[in-house]
Amino acid sequence: MGIDHGRRRAVFLDRDGVINRTVVRGGRPYPPPNVATLELLPGVAEAMARLHEAGYRLVVVTNQPDIARGTQDRSVVDAMHAWIAAALPVDEFCVCVHDDDDQCDCRKPKPGMLRGAAESAGVDLAASFMVGDRWRDIEAGRAAGCRTVFIDHEYSERRPDAPDVTVRSLEEAANWILGQGKV
Protein backbone atom coordinates (compact mmCIF):
# COMPACT_ATOMS: atom_id res chain seq x y z
CA MET A 1 0.00 0.00 0.00
CA GLY A 2 1.31 3.48 -0.83
CA ILE A 3 2.25 6.08 1.74
CA ASP A 4 -0.56 8.53 2.27
CA HIS A 5 0.95 10.78 4.96
CA GLY A 6 -2.38 10.87 6.78
CA ARG A 7 -4.43 11.98 3.78
CA ARG A 8 -6.91 9.65 2.12
CA ARG A 9 -6.58 10.02 -1.64
CA ALA A 10 -8.92 9.08 -4.43
CA VAL A 11 -8.95 8.78 -8.18
CA PHE A 12 -12.35 9.78 -9.50
CA LEU A 13 -13.02 8.18 -12.87
CA ASP A 14 -15.62 8.92 -15.47
CA ARG A 15 -17.09 5.66 -16.76
CA ASP A 16 -17.76 5.85 -20.49
CA GLY A 17 -14.56 6.52 -22.46
CA VAL A 18 -12.31 6.06 -19.42
CA ILE A 19 -13.18 2.57 -18.17
CA ASN A 20 -15.31 1.19 -21.00
CA ARG A 21 -15.51 1.75 -24.72
CA THR A 22 -18.07 4.29 -25.89
CA VAL A 23 -20.31 4.16 -28.92
CA VAL A 24 -19.17 7.07 -31.11
CA ARG A 25 -21.74 8.60 -33.45
CA GLY A 26 -21.07 11.78 -35.38
CA GLY A 27 -17.81 12.24 -33.49
CA ARG A 28 -19.59 12.24 -30.10
CA PRO A 29 -19.42 9.52 -27.44
CA TYR A 30 -22.45 7.69 -26.07
CA PRO A 31 -22.71 4.97 -23.42
CA PRO A 32 -23.12 1.37 -24.44
CA PRO A 33 -26.80 0.39 -24.43
CA ASN A 34 -26.52 -2.69 -22.19
CA VAL A 35 -24.23 -5.11 -20.36
CA ALA A 36 -23.86 -7.33 -23.43
CA THR A 37 -22.16 -4.46 -25.31
CA LEU A 38 -20.03 -3.29 -22.36
CA GLU A 39 -16.31 -3.64 -23.11
CA LEU A 40 -13.39 -2.55 -20.93
CA LEU A 41 -10.81 -0.43 -22.71
CA PRO A 42 -7.32 -1.92 -23.10
CA GLY A 43 -5.09 -1.59 -20.03
CA VAL A 44 -7.92 -0.46 -17.71
CA ALA A 45 -7.80 -3.47 -15.37
CA GLU A 46 -4.05 -3.19 -14.92
CA ALA A 47 -4.14 0.60 -14.44
CA MET A 48 -6.88 0.41 -11.84
CA ALA A 49 -5.12 -2.42 -10.00
CA ARG A 50 -1.94 -0.32 -9.80
CA LEU A 51 -3.85 2.72 -8.49
CA HIS A 52 -5.69 0.57 -5.94
CA GLU A 53 -2.44 -1.06 -4.78
CA ALA A 54 -0.92 2.41 -4.33
CA GLY A 55 -3.68 3.20 -1.83
CA TYR A 56 -6.04 5.29 -3.94
CA ARG A 57 -9.79 4.98 -3.37
CA LEU A 58 -11.32 4.39 -6.83
CA VAL A 59 -14.63 6.17 -7.36
CA VAL A 60 -16.58 6.09 -10.61
CA VAL A 61 -18.49 9.36 -11.13
CA THR A 62 -20.78 9.18 -14.14
CA ASN A 63 -23.50 11.30 -15.71
CA GLN A 64 -26.27 9.05 -17.02
CA PRO A 65 -28.86 11.55 -18.33
CA ASP A 66 -30.51 8.89 -20.50
CA ILE A 67 -32.27 7.74 -17.32
CA ALA A 68 -33.95 11.17 -16.95
CA ARG A 69 -34.64 11.22 -20.69
CA GLY A 70 -36.41 7.87 -20.48
CA THR A 71 -34.12 6.17 -23.01
CA GLN A 72 -32.30 4.02 -20.42
CA ASP A 73 -33.48 2.13 -17.34
CA ARG A 74 -31.71 2.57 -14.01
CA SER A 75 -31.65 -1.23 -13.67
CA VAL A 76 -29.51 -1.50 -16.82
CA VAL A 77 -27.05 1.10 -15.50
CA ASP A 78 -26.92 -0.74 -12.17
CA ALA A 79 -26.27 -4.04 -14.00
CA MET A 80 -23.40 -2.41 -15.90
CA HIS A 81 -21.92 -1.21 -12.62
CA ALA A 82 -22.24 -4.67 -11.09
CA TRP A 83 -20.39 -6.09 -14.11
CA ILE A 84 -17.64 -3.45 -13.79
CA ALA A 85 -17.39 -4.00 -10.01
CA ALA A 86 -16.90 -7.73 -10.57
CA ALA A 87 -14.02 -7.03 -12.97
CA LEU A 88 -12.31 -4.02 -11.37
CA PRO A 89 -11.38 -2.77 -7.88
CA VAL A 90 -13.99 0.02 -7.76
CA ASP A 91 -14.72 1.30 -4.25
CA GLU A 92 -17.83 3.31 -5.11
CA PHE A 93 -20.12 4.27 -7.98
CA CYS A 94 -21.72 7.72 -8.00
CA VAL A 95 -24.38 8.26 -10.66
CA CYS A 96 -26.14 11.45 -11.69
CA VAL A 97 -29.42 10.43 -13.32
CA HIS A 98 -30.39 14.02 -14.20
CA ASP A 99 -30.31 16.07 -17.40
CA ASP A 100 -29.00 19.66 -17.67
CA ASP A 101 -32.51 21.09 -17.29
CA ASP A 102 -32.78 19.55 -13.80
CA GLN A 103 -30.16 22.01 -12.48
CA CYS A 104 -28.91 19.48 -9.91
CA ASP A 105 -25.64 19.78 -8.01
CA CYS A 106 -24.45 16.32 -9.02
CA ARG A 107 -24.34 16.59 -12.83
CA LYS A 108 -20.84 17.22 -14.07
CA PRO A 109 -19.44 19.86 -14.68
CA LYS A 110 -20.73 20.62 -11.18
CA PRO A 111 -18.60 18.97 -8.48
CA GLY A 112 -21.42 17.53 -6.33
CA MET A 113 -20.68 13.84 -6.93
CA LEU A 114 -16.98 14.29 -6.16
CA ARG A 115 -17.59 16.38 -3.06
CA GLY A 116 -20.25 14.00 -1.74
CA ALA A 117 -18.07 10.92 -2.24
CA ALA A 118 -15.08 12.68 -0.67
CA GLU A 119 -17.06 13.79 2.35
CA SER A 120 -18.57 10.37 3.03
CA ALA A 121 -15.20 8.58 2.74
CA GLY A 122 -12.92 11.20 4.31
CA VAL A 123 -11.05 11.92 1.08
CA ASP A 124 -8.73 14.92 0.68
CA LEU A 125 -9.79 16.39 -2.67
CA ALA A 126 -6.55 18.38 -3.03
CA ALA A 127 -4.62 15.08 -2.89
CA SER A 128 -6.96 13.44 -5.41
CA PHE A 129 -7.41 13.23 -9.18
CA MET A 130 -10.29 13.34 -11.65
CA VAL A 131 -9.81 11.34 -14.86
CA GLY A 132 -12.21 11.99 -17.72
CA ASP A 133 -12.61 12.09 -21.47
CA ARG A 134 -14.88 15.14 -21.75
CA TRP A 135 -14.78 18.80 -20.72
CA ARG A 136 -17.49 18.23 -18.07
CA ASP A 137 -15.22 15.78 -16.22
CA ILE A 138 -12.27 18.16 -16.16
CA GLU A 139 -14.37 21.12 -14.99
CA ALA A 140 -15.97 19.01 -12.24
CA GLY A 141 -12.54 17.89 -11.05
CA ARG A 142 -11.17 21.41 -11.05
CA ALA A 143 -14.26 22.78 -9.23
CA ALA A 144 -13.86 20.06 -6.58
CA GLY A 145 -10.19 20.98 -6.08
CA CYS A 146 -8.67 17.86 -7.69
CA ARG A 147 -5.89 17.63 -10.21
CA THR A 148 -7.30 16.68 -13.61
CA VAL A 149 -6.35 14.16 -16.26
CA PHE A 150 -7.94 14.40 -19.70
CA ILE A 151 -8.02 11.25 -21.84
CA ASP A 152 -8.17 12.61 -25.37
CA HIS A 153 -10.16 10.45 -27.77
CA GLU A 154 -10.40 13.36 -30.24
CA TYR A 155 -14.18 13.63 -30.08
CA SER A 156 -15.82 16.27 -32.27
CA GLU A 157 -16.98 18.43 -29.36
CA ARG A 158 -15.84 21.10 -26.94
CA ARG A 159 -12.43 20.41 -25.44
CA PRO A 160 -11.60 21.00 -21.79
CA ASP A 161 -9.74 24.10 -20.66
CA ALA A 162 -6.30 23.46 -19.18
CA PRO A 163 -6.38 19.97 -17.67
CA ASP A 164 -3.27 19.25 -15.59
CA VAL A 165 -2.25 16.63 -18.15
CA THR A 166 -3.61 15.16 -21.40
CA VAL A 167 -3.08 11.46 -22.11
CA ARG A 168 -4.40 8.81 -24.51
CA SER A 169 -5.50 6.08 -22.05
CA LEU A 170 -6.17 5.23 -18.42
CA GLU A 171 -2.85 3.39 -18.43
CA GLU A 172 -1.04 6.65 -19.26
CA ALA A 173 -3.17 8.47 -16.69
CA ALA A 174 -2.20 5.96 -13.98
CA ASN A 175 1.48 6.35 -14.86
CA TRP A 176 1.21 10.13 -14.48
CA ILE A 177 -0.83 9.94 -11.24
CA LEU A 178 1.56 7.46 -9.66
CA GLY A 179 4.46 9.70 -10.68
CA GLN A 180 2.83 12.65 -8.87
CA GLY A 181 2.82 10.77 -5.58
CA LYS A 182 6.61 10.64 -5.38
CA VAL A 183 7.78 12.70 -2.40
CATH number at residue 86: 3.40.50.1000
Query: Based on the number of CB atoms within 10 Å of its own CB, is 66 exposed (0-12), middle (13-18) or buried (19 or more)?
Result: middle
Q: Which tens digits make up the pLDDT trace of 5-48?
A: 457 999 999 999 999 999 999 999 999 999 999 999 999 999 99
pLDDT at 4: 43
* Beta-bridge mates of residue 61: 94
Q: Annotated active-site positions, please?
A: 14, 16
Residue 181 has pLDDT above 90, yes or no: no
Domain region containing 109: 10-180
In a domain, 5, yes or no: no
Distance CA 70, CA 63 (A): 14
pLDDT at 7: 74
pLDDT at 6: 57
In a domain, 97, yes or no: yes
Distance CA 22, CA 66 (A): 14
Q: Are 149 and 176 in contact (CB under 8 A)?
A: yes
